[in-house]
Structure 1
Amino acid sequence: MAEYTSKNKTKRWSFGKNRNTMRLCLFLLLGIILYASMFDNIQPEELDVAVSEPAPEDIRSPVTVEHEAQTQAREQEALESLDPIYVHRNDYAQIQIEKVNAIFDMALALQEDADVGTNDQVSYMQDVIHQDVEQTLSEETLETLLTISEEQLFMGRDVARNAVNEVMSEDIAVDDVPAAREEAEERISRSMGSARMQEALSEIVNHIITANYIYDDEATTQRQEEVLDEVEPALIREGELLVQEGEIVSHETYDQISATGLLDEDSSWYPYMGLFMFVVIMVAMTALYAEQSSTPLRYSNRTLLLYVIVFFITLATMKLVSVLQLLEIDGILWVTPIALGTMLLAHLLAYRVAIFSSVLFALAGSVIFNDAAAGTFHATFLSYALFSGLAGAFFIGKIPRISKVLQSGGFIAILNAATVTAFHFFSSSQFEASSYGLEVSFALGSGVLAAVLTLGLVPFFETGFNILTPTKLIELSNANHPLLRKVLLEAPGTYHHSVMVGNLSEAACEAIGANGLLARVSSYYHDLGKTKHPLYFIENQLQTENPHDRLSPEVSKRIIIDHPYDGAKILQDHNMPKEIIDVAKEHHGTTLLKYFYHKAKEQGMEPKEEDYRYPGPKAQFKESAVIGIADGVEAAVRSMGAPTADKIEKLVNHIIRERLIDGQFDECDITLKELSIAAGTMCETLQGTFHSRIEYPDDEDEKEKDSI
């Protein structure tokens, strides 16, 4: 026994040491498969395009990009159609009137200075007007202003001011200035009778009147910016046909092709880097899901290898169908059996794994089938693959059965056909019955093909990986199985005990969301090792002497402790599933064999507690933990005299509490809440089994009653 334990621990340690390396290699293999499956779908096309030559093929834009030259042309056109903005300056009239006032005020002031001659006054006045008023008047006009009477000077000022004010109250553009000056002269001629004054005032007004409706540079610039903002950029849309096969490539078309990057040789490595990052993200998400979810992927590298193989098969079917697209048959991509991967995973591994993987299958498929799309991803196929993959998981369900596969295939086929129909209705093109019928036929065939392939592949996976599917569990629960017949014939008490443990553990596992069928079937085989020495176990000692009475506690202990590992060896020899073998080894964990430990103490021995403990391992998963509890509970209740509901409840809680304190659940993920639920369920099951019964009278009592 010591040698077995040592070897067992060594094997487990070695496996644990290499486990992470093996998982890393498997995830790396998954990444390589993904990258290889999508590699040729992201290779940049080498276009042999030249201006004024026919296009070798239909060329579509792979991306949405702005055509900068066309955008600039649109902006220039918008600016040219925009009229400049002019504004009427009301203050200009007042400014010019102030200049009129300044001229007449100066003339009035010089008239009052009699010490200066007229010629000097004229020269002085010309200099001042040129400097302050920025006007140049003739000597004749200035002499008129300096020699007329004060009354005439005031009258002339008023006439000039009124003419300037009235004319400049209207919009005067630069081109309108001559006409405005003529109008001012007419007003002056109507107001002044003196020809000399008319000429002087006309010259002054001609110099004073200026444009007041002027170009507003700031407003025009702001309006130009607003117009430019309103100009929509010239976009080359993803999927837009740039040139048809055989069509002559113009300069404009060549510029469009260049703008999309199809002629850019320097960026040819970008798609490969993008695909690498895309695959890394997919593998990283898969690894996180595998490590954080309570699925078979978390606990077993063998299961992870199975997952990688299923992934490979699914991608291989996609690639095969993508090659068939060369036949140019409408809608042939819809025949892809996407649901094959999710149906296999739901049947062989877990429902949740299938749902998660359906997203990955859809993403990979959208790249593999991007030949029918302009960009890197075929969005329509992504939607189709996602719906089909999810349907494969949903219709198989959480409790898969082989009998459900064909039925699920039918449902998937109908859903696929409905999805393709929806795509046709989305399209704005004319509905063609022949094309639609062909595509729907392919979609229907996809569901049937997925079901047929699933039925064909499941047996190979079950055999090759020794997968414990519900179908196989049902087969193993058959009482005619050779190992169960062995237990029934050689240890009938153990067989009855195993059936009772199966009932208890199945009900408890179903209550906490674990695999009840696995628990029941594993219970049938958990004590198979007792067939090696059946009479040394109390349930098989029917009216016979207990052989342990003649053995030392040390020998008895060795026989009892060996039975989990004897059973595991028999199960391994018969190539039984790993989960059932694990339950056989783990159902006692490292618990203490109390009876013989205390018996050794009573005989004056000084036993070590660790020598009277099972070597383990402890329960590694919920079903194993529940079976261990049910094993102890069933044996304890069977030995109880007159069991009642209260006694049963106290006993069950005591056994669970004792195992919990002893650390027997430390290596599995069962929670205290689940232990409480399991305890309640076992109590209900036991109360149904050991309920009170009516005592029926024997024959003599009946005769006495009849004679009375």
Structure 2
Amino acid sequence: MFKSKRLLFKMRQLHQSKLVGGILYVLLGTVIFLALVGNVRPDELDVKLLSIAKKSIHSPVTIEDKVTTERRKREAAQTVEDQYTYRSEYKQNRSEIISSIFEAVKEVQDEDRLKEKLEQQPPAALPVQLDKLKEKLPADVLKSLSNEVLQQLLKASPDQLLVAKESTLTAVNNRMSTHIKIHEVNRAREQIADELRYANVNSGLKTAIIEIGQYAIVPNYVFDPAATEERRKVEMDAVEPAYILQGQILVKQGDTITREVYDQLKLVGLLDNGHAFQPFLGLMLLVGVLLFFLVRQFVIFFKNHREDKPYVMAYVLIVTVTIIVMKTLSLFQNVELTSIGYVMPVAMGTLLIKLMIGDRFVVPTSILFSVCGSIMFNEGITSTFNYAVGLYMLISSLSVSAFLTDKYRRSPILRAGLLVSLVNVLTVGAILLLRSGHTSWTEVGLHLLMAAASGIISSILTMGLLPYLEGGLGIVSTMRLTELASPNHPLLRKILLEAPGTYHHSIMVANLSEAACEAIGANGLLARVGAYYHDIGKTVRPQFFIENQMGQLNPHDQLTPEMSRDIILAHVTDGVKLLKEHRIPQEIVKIAAQHHGTTLLKYFYYKASKQDKEAYTEEMFRYPGPKADFKESAVVGIADSVEAAVRSMDAPTPEQIEQLVEGIIADRLQDGQFNECELTFKELQIVRKALCEALNGIFHSRITYPTLSKEKVK
């Protein structure tokens, strides 16, 4: 135990270096990284195509299976039928062609009749008319219609030709008004032939118009490639992407690793060794982000606190211990007992940090523990993070701020642990209820028992570790200061019994110091406790100090100035020795050692100078120091001098008190007693004002009551 304390003390001596502070941050990041690296390292799979899976393999991530998605899109496109478009203009076109045929026939007949009438010549022979007709008809029509059809048209009378034309146009319009696909053309032509058989024309002409009608029938419901492609695109876009879900079983133990399975393993990164560094890089970035916010918190924190205190070392040590406990506990988890993270006393870390450093770091530390816990306790979880455990640890850590409100006694730590246990139980209960699926009562009871134990163990460990951390690091917690301020402490009882005047003086200095320190934002409780013990050395020879003489003869009247000097100066070193023997925190020891600094023992110096001015110098009658190197120590020194000076005055007025306080502060300032501490001129003025107000309250004027004469009662 003592070896560990000496080691902590040596480490504490190094904390003031900025370089060491940076090293501590790097050390903390390294500890966190090494604790988590094993939980983010990707599994090494030794699988080959068409081999047998030695174990069931789950997907570590959720990722789109693009190969499957494309296959499903192709299948959806193949189900789309060809798209057709009805071309209404085809009906008009075919009707115009039929009309042009009959018009050409009529023109040939009319020309022949006109020539017969004017030239009195016999009608032209049918072959001649046929030739004229062919000249008027397009090649496509001539190619599709036989000469016999054209001859039948030429032989028809005008009335028959008109009936044939109208019948053909009507039949063609009727058929072409319906959707006719390319494979339905023959059926449509048969239908138009059946319809034209009832035309009121002679048989020869009827045969001709049937052939013309069948010629006019063409497909009008044609394949539309653009519409077909558009429809296929719509169907492909409607296909939902195929995903490989996190935790999905890609292959079961004993199954063959097919090409499809092999491609899926490669897709999720289980076979891609080239990207194995990515989890480590991600972990480094995550740790870096967490450290960045912690460093920023310390930068803000040190604006109002002493940088020479080993707060960073304390923080790193507490977090490291918590992480080590967390990592050790995580080694016992298995698939059947993934809930072991609930028993982790994570609140221990935030309890210690709140007590030793302050509330500012509870939230960022809770987040840090939550992230670390969710990664460490991920056994049986396909994700890198176990969000249930992470949420549980976050709430458990944060609950410390709500329940540990009294930092002045140790008993509230146990009470806070019990309340944290209650919150843990409620949190785990909520997590179990939010889960889908049935949980056995045995498992529920085990989870709740672990959660309850976590808070209690946290408070017990906190009370056990706190004294060692305070002693080793020299950071005095509020709780420790409160214990030292108890009148039942052996040293305070020693002052009270052996040097009651010094005890009263110390109480007065404590009141003044606390008020002044709180006015400038320093630690008022530390100043108060330091003032209680600052003159403990006077208990060695209490009768040599005027406040303890109680009207007795002053022994210094019988001593030489050198002997008186040695006795008075010795109370500082004697006090430091006593405090160290009783293992009083270093902060209190420093206040006792520094409260006089290197000031001059003026009374005995002047007394010695009267005897032989040449033989004595100021350096011979100065306190050995050291000078005050922090605000609380400097304020206690001022309050000590002020209280003693004001007490020696007879009915001091506020103006006299103010002049006295200002003179003492100015004297110490000119003597260089504040050169090694961070007190500013502005703060010295605030201290002066606070001391004057406190002293005026103590030494206020009182009414002199008249003495009543006693009269005999008759």
Taking structure 2 as the reference length, what is the TM-score of the superposition? 0.75
Q: Structure 2 matches for 1:301-312, cutoff 5 A?
A: 302-312=310-320
Aligned to 1:596: none
Query: Do the aligned residues in 2 keep the contact of 1:96 with 1:208 (CA within 8 Å)?
Result: yes
Deviations along 1:73-132, whole A, 9 cap, x unmatched?
Answer: 332333334344434343433343333344444545555666994344344345x353xx
Write the distance in 1 (CA, Å) between the matches of 2:446 and 2:516.
Answer: 51
Write the distance in 1 (CA, Å) between the matches of 2:95 and 2:89.
Answer: 10
Query: Do the aligned residues in 1 keep the contact of 2:474 with 2:587 (CA within 8 Å)?
Result: no
Equivalent in 68, 71, 83 of residue 70 of structure 1 = 68
Q: Does 1:367 align with 2:367?
A: no
Aligned to 1:23: 21
Deviations along 1:252-281, whole A, 9 cap, x unmatched?
Answer: 444433332212222222222222222222
Query: Do the aligned residues in 1 keep the contact of 2:374 with 2:385 (CA within 8 Å)?
Result: yes
Write the distance in 2 (CA, Å) between the matches of 1:646 and 1:496.
Answer: 25
Q: Structure 2 matches for 1:551-630, cutoff 5 A?
A: 577=585, 579-580=587-588
Partner AA of 1:696 in structure 2: Y
Q: Does 1:140 align with 2:151?
A: no
Q: Does 1:161 align with 2:161?
A: no
SS in 2 for 1:181: helix
Query: Do the aligned residues in 2 keep the contact of 1:19 with 1:301 (CA within 8 Å)?
Result: no
Aligned to 2:355: 347
TM-superposed deviation, 1:396 = 2.7
Cα RMSD for the two superposed structures:
5.4
Q: Structure 2 matches for 1:242-641, cutoff 5 A?
A: 242-294=250-302, 299-300=307-308, 302-326=310-334, 328-329=336-337, 331-397=339-405, 399=407, 401-478=409-486, 496=504, 498-506=506-514, 515-525=523-533, 577=585, 579-580=587-588
* Corresponding residue pairs, total: 666
Query: Do the aligned residues in 2 keep the contact of 1:23 with 1:301 (CA within 8 Å)?
Result: no
TM-superposed deviation, 1:473 = 0.8
Q: Does 1:702 align with 2:708?
A: yes
Aligned to 2:225: 217
Question: CA 1:145 to 1:350, structure 2 compared with 1: closer, same or farther past 3 Å?
Answer: same
Partner AA of 1:38 in structure 2: L
Deviations along 1:577-629, whole A, 9 cap, x unmatched?
Answer: 454467679989999x9xxxxxxxxxxxxxxxxxx9xx9989866x6787689
TM-superposed deviation, 1:403 = 1.5
SS in 2 for 1:49: coil
Question: CA 1:406 to 1:194, structure 2 compared with 1: closer, same or farther past 3 Å?
Answer: same
Aligned to 2:45: 47
Deviations along 1:277-330, whole A, 9 cap, x unmatched?
Answer: 222222222222222235899824722122222122111111211111259546
Write the distance in 2 (CA, Å) between the matches of 1:514 and 1:152.
Answer: 125
Partner AA of 2:708 in structure 1: E
Write the distance in 1 (CA, Å) between the matches of 2:328 and 2:168.
Answer: 98
Query: Do the aligned residues in 2 keep the contact of 1:339 with 1:389 (CA within 8 Å)?
Result: yes
Q: Structure 2 matches for 1:110-149, cutoff 5 A?
A: 117-126=128-137, 128-130=138-140, 136-145=144-153, 148=156
Q: Does 1:231 align with 2:239?
A: yes
Query: Do the aligned residues in 2 keep the contact of 1:350 with 1:398 (CA within 8 Å)?
Result: no
Write the distance in 2 (CA, Å) between the matches of 1:564 and 1:373.
Answer: 66
Question: CA 1:15 to 1:318, structure 2 compared with 1: closer, same or farther past 3 Å?
Answer: closer
Equivalent in 171, 175, 185 of residue 183 of structure 2 = 175
Partner AA of 2:276 in structure 1: S
Write the distance in 2 (CA, Å) between the matches of 1:540 and 1:702.
Answer: 35
Aligned to 1:32: 30
SS in 2 for 1:370: coil
Write the distance in 2 (CA, Å) between the matches of 1:508 and 1:308.
Answer: 33
TM-superposed deviation, 1:231 = 1.8
SS in 2 for 1:332: helix
Write the distance in 2 (CA, Å) between the matches of 1:434 and 1:43.
Answer: 33
Equivalent in 43, 56, 59 of residue 58 of structure 1 = 56
TM-superposed deviation, 1:54 = 4.4
TM-superposed deviation, 1:682 = 7.6
TM-superposed deviation, 1:684 = 7.8
Question: CA 1:580 to 1:105, structure 2 compared with 1: closer, same or farther past 3 Å?
Answer: farther
**Stretch moving more, 308-317 or 74-83:** 74-83
Partner AA of 1:380 in structure 2: A
- Note the residue ranges of structure 1 that are not aligned, 5 or more in a row: 1-13, 548-557, 594-611
Partner AA of 1:353 in structure 2: F
Deviations along 1:21-68, whole A, 9 cap, x unmatched?
Answer: 111111111111111111221222122334565432232111112223
Per chain length, whose mean CA-contact separation is higher, i.e. which structure has more relative contact order (CA < 8 Å, sep 6+)?
A: 2
Question: CA 1:442 to 1:215, structure 2 compared with 1: closer, same or farther past 3 Å?
Answer: same
Partner AA of 2:332 in structure 1: L
Question: CA 1:185 to 1:271, structure 2 compared with 1: closer, same or farther past 3 Å?
Answer: same
Write the distance in 1 (CA, Å) between the matches of 2:292 and 2:350.
Answer: 20
Write the distance in 1 (CA, Å) between the matches of 2:680 and 2:575.
Answer: 23
TM-superposed deviation, 1:374 = 0.5
Write the distance in 2 (CA, Å) between the matches of 1:692 and 1:405.
Answer: 46
Write the distance in 2 (CA, Å) between the matches of 1:482 and 1:188.
Answer: 133
Partner AA of 2:64 in structure 1: E
Question: CA 1:499 to 1:570, structure 2 compared with 1: closer, same or farther past 3 Å?
Answer: same
Question: CA 1:705 to 1:695, structure 2 compared with 1: closer, same or farther past 3 Å?
Answer: farther
Write the distance in 2 (CA, Å) between the matches of 1:151 and 1:639.
Answer: 153
Write the distance in 1 (CA, Å) between the matches of 2:39 and 2:650.
Answer: 74
Taking structure 1 as the reference length, what is the TM-score of the superposition? 0.75
Deviations along 1:154-201, whole A, 9 cap, x unmatched?
Answer: 544433332232222223333333222233333333334233333333
SS in 2 for 1:41: helix
Aligned to 1:4: none
**Stretch moving more, 357-366 or 110-119:** 110-119
Query: Do the aligned residues in 1 keep the contact of 2:84 with 2:222 (CA within 8 Å)?
Result: yes
Query: Do the aligned residues in 2 keep the contact of 1:568 with 1:582 (CA within 8 Å)?
Result: no
Write the distance in 2 (CA, Å) between the matches of 1:472 and 1:242.
Answer: 58
Aligned to 2:77: 79
Write the distance in 1 (CA, Å) between the matches of 2:347 and 2:504.
Answer: 43
TM-superposed deviation, 1:230 = 2.5
Query: Do the aligned residues in 1 keep the contact of 2:85 with 2:224 (CA within 8 Å)?
Result: yes
Deviations along 1:662-690, whole A, 9 cap, x unmatched?
Answer: 9x999969999x99999998888667545
TM-superposed deviation, 1:218 = 3.2
Write the distance in 2 (CA, Å) between the matches of 1:425 and 1:668.
Answer: 56
Query: Do the aligned residues in 1 keep the contact of 2:63 with 2:243 (CA within 8 Å)?
Result: yes
TM-superposed deviation, 1:205 = 2.6
Partner AA of 1:373 in structure 2: I
Question: CA 1:108 to 1:679, structure 2 compared with 1: closer, same or farther past 3 Å?
Answer: farther
Aligned to 1:607: none
Partner AA of 2:443 in structure 1: S
SS in 2 for 1:63: coil
Aligned to 1:606: none
SS in 1 for 2:80: coil
Partner AA of 1:124 in structure 2: E
Q: Which has the larger radius of gyration?
A: 2
Aligned to 1:100: 98
Identical aligned residues as a percent: 37
Write the distance in 2 (CA, Å) between the matches of 1:335 and 1:82.
Answer: 59
TM-superposed deviation, 1:442 = 2.0
SS in 1 for 2:525: helix
